[in-house]
Structure 1
């Protein structure tokens, strides 16, 4: 099988996990040929890690998305934000690049979701939604196909992770409180970079406008706890994942990339 070319958009901590997996030989079917980040130095840093390996190809840090797309990578890993995915998705898919993304919140916009599907179909490309900090998409999808179901999504967070949002106030440092209750579309509108997993669960099941979301702030809580519950006539399933850091999201991208090229996919 031909080695796949890979590029990264958004070169923060999660992208560095993908780069480290490449360096460790966990992604042997890929060559990282380009990086792009709004802070050029971050793109340069990851590219340098690859260059220092003295491989038989180069990894170019890019100053713009256009420059990155000109490299024509087979796959683009996007770990930046829903806004970044909205800018990237259609040009990349038209360019012949498939996408692996963590910014699933962008797909709460149904018009964008449908346009991405249409563009990918027309150009023979695909968008792979990495599981991020949650799992169980296979169960959610299966039950939703099988019969009518109800889905709820409950998240526990520490108050510091809610700073710079409309719901934060200093009282959350000492007071446990439900800070949001609504559907997944409303949640992503209020927390555009913090509830991608809720939209992912919604897309895998009954849709962003039908999944009931609640977010609870707990003093001194470290990390995130995401609990998805799906109920139908025949099935009752609960997926509950606690993660101390966001590292699992980066590793879910690595697993997605491995599944794309593996003869056996998990």
Structure 2
């Protein structure tokens, strides 16, 4: 079987997980051809560790003709590079899904992918259940309804420090930090609620997904609970993780699924 050429955009913690999985033989359907990052040093270190090519920028990575590029570089990098990657002949696997909370950008990416015959894959990150979310959404819309989608996240106050929603009293008592839509949440917390945007794109859309963030003193990690109801069906997806590694491993799982002769959906 011919291996797909793989590139990595973003060489921090999550990109390192993908590279380590490749080194461990967990991505045997792929050949890691190159890596690039906003700063050169981590990309050079990762390239040296994996034996692939260090690329000074995205054009250099695309010159290696990857079949798919994995993004672990953040929302601004998605906005800056998604169209170039698709037009350069590669598929794109995205972890920073918050970039797609902008409907105009999402439509631009969709049109470019269709025109270029490429695919954009949204990794599940720290959540899951996209299959049942999209299924219930389809059932509801077939009956002329919109599903009710609620996303409730529990976080420790330390993870909210430095954001507009943080208040010192969160250190002492459980408080709601945010109530609104997924679109409003990503505007306030662009690096903290990618998971909500991911779930909303699998269902009712960011504008129609209610988002609640509760700060809990001493809480470690994140707990995400998604509830969807419509057309006589209801599903609850609740996932806890103590660190962000689950997001990197969701990309590994996605890549393995894409390379498998039997795909799970």
TM-score, normalization by structure 1: 0.95
State the alpha-carbon separation in 2 of the partners of residues 130 and 250 from structure 1.
9
Deviation at 1:75, TM superposition (A): 0.6
Residue 40 of structure 1: how far off its partner (Å): 1.0
Moved over 6 A (4+): none
Give the drift of 1:61.
Answer: 1.4
Residues 41-120 of structure 1: pairs in structure 2 closer than 5 A: 41-51=41-51, 59-120=52-113
1:239 aligns with 2:232: no
> How do 1:22-37 residues align onto structure 2 when only pairs under 5 Å count?
22-37=22-37
- Where does residue 55 of structure 1 map in the other structure? none
Counterpart pick for 1:172 among 145, 157, 170: 170
May I ask how many residue pairs the two structures share in their alignment?
Answer: 259
How far is 1:66 from its partner?
A: 1.9
Q: Which runs of 5 or more residues in structure 1 are unaligned?
A: 52-58
TM-score, length-scaled by structure 2? 0.96
Task: Report the CA distance between 1:169 and its aligned residue.
Answer: 2.9
Aligned to 1:14: 14
Q: Which string of whole-angstrom CA distances, capped at 9 and with x for unpartnered residues, describes residues 141-162 of structure 1?
A: 0000011310000000011111
Report the CA distance between 1:232 and its aligned residue: 1.3
**Residues 123 and 250 in structure 2, CA contact (< 8 A), matched pair in contact too:** yes
User: 1:144-155 counterparts in 2 under 5 A?
Assistant: 144-147=137-140, 148=145, 149-155=147-153
Q: 2: distance between equivalents of 1:255 and 1:123?
A: 25
Q: Distance in 1 between matches of 2:12 and 2:160?
A: 20
Residue deviations 1:106-148 (CA, integer Å, cap 9, x gap):
1110001011011001111110001000010000000000113
CA RMSD of aligned residues (A): 0.9
What residue is the counterpart of 1:204 in the other structure? 202
Residue 54 (structure 1) aligns with: none
Whole-Å Cα distance in 2 between the matches of residues 235 and 45 of structure 1? 49
Choose from 131, 139, 152 the match for 2:124: 131
Aligned-residue offset at 1:234:
1.1
